[in-house]
């Protein structure tokens, strides 16, 4: 029982701290950067590091064990936090953000692999997604609030939490199992993950459109804009709890439809952001459980599959918003939101092919 408790401590504490650290510098990017260009590079470096590392570390976790890679990812995140804490040179900060992204990429595939194979996996995945969004909220809030006292105060706090987790993970943890990775066979069987990966790409890519363009669309003050955007995370947290407490049969489909509704309503009311976040939280829990079932049926290595899943999510966030932004001269932002909601709704058809 102690081994299981410590695993969950590292997983839930790890995702909270890693996500909190990732958002800690967002409110103070303008004060850490010499220009708007450097600010955008600092922001994007994290996602670049995460996207290129998700699949490789998913494969490594199958070979070397989930908990080893989870602990390694926490150590990487701690090192990046220390680097961001002690250095102000923009080049070093960019390198630390890339390392921070790699730490995130190393964490998610093994962490999701482990929680999805535990008993009552829908509950575990819901709790995991709750802690993910809780970390994002606290990182943003602490990043802005503590900067009034110390510029990098939030970075210090989350780096300290990561240090505690590093110490907690030092003792040897028994692995549930390790897999001798068969790369060729995995890539062949991974074709079964194509529909659900496309769902992830569409779902999170087109919700990213709303997050990226909403500040340019609304006339809300900075305070209320922050509250409105924060409601996306709040919705994801609350609906993730609902996901395992309420017996919804087709939870992924319900999540996709709810996300599409929220995306559509975002063109008319800030309440749409909360609904959109809630729907994406439901869908995420359902998707991870769907992938877990596909793994059992197709004999795909679990870490490899979760690496593909998360790569699709990050690719959606990275590619879709700037791609749709190219049409900003012929489409209004409200039209972009409506188009996004339609595309998200159509992805239900992909889900039914899994």
Comparison of pLDDT for 1 and 213, the residue scoring more: 213
32-43 average pLDDT score: 78
Cβ partners under 8 Å of residue 162, min gap 6: 14, 17, 18, 21, 74, 77, 78, 81
Name the DSSP letter for residue 119.
Answer: S
pLDDT at 173: 55
Distance CA 93, CA 89 (A): 6
Q: Is 117 exposed, middle or buried (0-12, 13-18, 19+ CB in 10 A)?
A: middle
pLDDT at 216: 79
Alpha helices for the chain (secondary structure H): 2-24, 29-32, 36-64, 66-86, 90-117, 121-146, 153-168, 183-189, 194-217, 222-245, 251-265, 271-298, 302-325, 333-346, 348-351
Q: What is the pTM of this model?
A: 0.86
Q: Are 114 and 9 in contact (CB under 8 A)?
A: no
At 5, list the tokens.
């408790």
pLDDT at 345: 95
pLDDT digits (tens, 9 = 90+) for 258-302: 999 999 999 999 999 999 999 999 999 989 888 888 887 777 888
For residue 139, give the nearest of 89, 100, 92 by alpha carbon.
100
pLDDT digits (tens, 9 = 90+) for 233-264: 999 999 988 877 766 668 899 999 999 999 99
| Site of tokens 């729907």 | 279
Name the DSSP letter for residue 228.
Answer: H
Distance CA 169, CA 111 (A): 14
pLDDT digits (tens, 9 = 90+) for 331-345: 888 999 999 999 999
pLDDT at 213: 84
At 276, list the tokens.
């959109």
What are the CB-based long-range contacts (under 8 Å, 24+) for 267-274? 267/333, 267/334, 267/337, 267/338, 270/218, 270/220, 270/224, 270/228, 270/231, 273/210, 273/214, 273/228, 273/229, 273/231, 273/232, 273/235, 274/231, 274/232, 274/234, 274/235
For residue 113, give the nearest of 276, 296, 272, 253 by alpha carbon.
296
pLDDT digits (tens, 9 = 90+) for 137-154: 998 888 888 888 888 999
**Domains of the chain: residue spans and CATH:** 2-168 (1.20.1250.20), 184-351 (1.20.1250.20)
pLDDT digits (tens, 9 = 90+) for 84-125: 999 989 899 999 999 999 999 999 999 999 998 888 788 888
Q: Are 327 and 239 in contact (CB under 8 A)?
A: no
């Amino acid at each position: 029982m102690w081994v299981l408790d410590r695993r969950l401590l590292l997983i839930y504490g790890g995702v909270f701290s890693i996500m909190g650290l990732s958002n800690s510098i967002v409110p103070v990017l303008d004060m850490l950067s010499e220009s708007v260009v450097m600010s955008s590079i600092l922001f994007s470096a994290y996602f670049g590091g995460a996207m290129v590392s998700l699949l490789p570390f998913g494969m490594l976790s199958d070979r070397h064990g989930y908990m080893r890679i989870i602990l390694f990812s926490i150590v990487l995140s701690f090192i990046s936090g220390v680097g961001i804490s002690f250095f102000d040179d923009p080049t070093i900060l960019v390198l630390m953000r890339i390392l921070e992204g790699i730490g995130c990429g190393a964490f998610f595939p093994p962490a999701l692999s482990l929680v999805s194979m535990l008993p009552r996996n829908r509950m575990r995945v819901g709790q995991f997604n709750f802690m993910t969004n809780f970390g994002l909220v606290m990182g943003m809030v602490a990043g802005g609030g503590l900067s009034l006292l110390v510029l990098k105060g939030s970075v210090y706090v989350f780096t300290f939490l990561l240090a505690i987790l590093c110490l907690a993970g030092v003792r040897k943890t028994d692995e549930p199992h390790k897999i001798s990775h068969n790369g060729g066979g995995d890539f062949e069987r991974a074709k079964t993950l194509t529909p659900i990966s496309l769902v992830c790409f569409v779902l999170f890519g087109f919700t990213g459109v709303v997050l990226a363009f909403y500040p340019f669309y609304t006339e809300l003050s900075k305070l209320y804009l922050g509250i409105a955007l924060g409601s996306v995370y709040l919705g994801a947290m609350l609906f993730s709890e609902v996901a395992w407490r309420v017996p919804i049969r087709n939870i992924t489909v319900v999540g996709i439809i709810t996300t599409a509704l929220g995306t559509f309503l975002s063109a008319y009311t800030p309440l749409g952001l909360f609904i959109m976040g809630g729907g994406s939280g439901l869908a995420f829990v359902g998707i991870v459980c769907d992938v877990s079932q596909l793994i059992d049926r197709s004999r795909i290595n679990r870490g490899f599959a979760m690496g593909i899943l998360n790569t699709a999510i990050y690719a959606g966030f990275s590619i879709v918003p700037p791609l749709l932004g190219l049409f900003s001269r012929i489409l209004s932002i409200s039209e972009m939101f409506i188009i996004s909601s339609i595309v998200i709704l159509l992805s239900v058809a992909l889900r039914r092919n899994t």
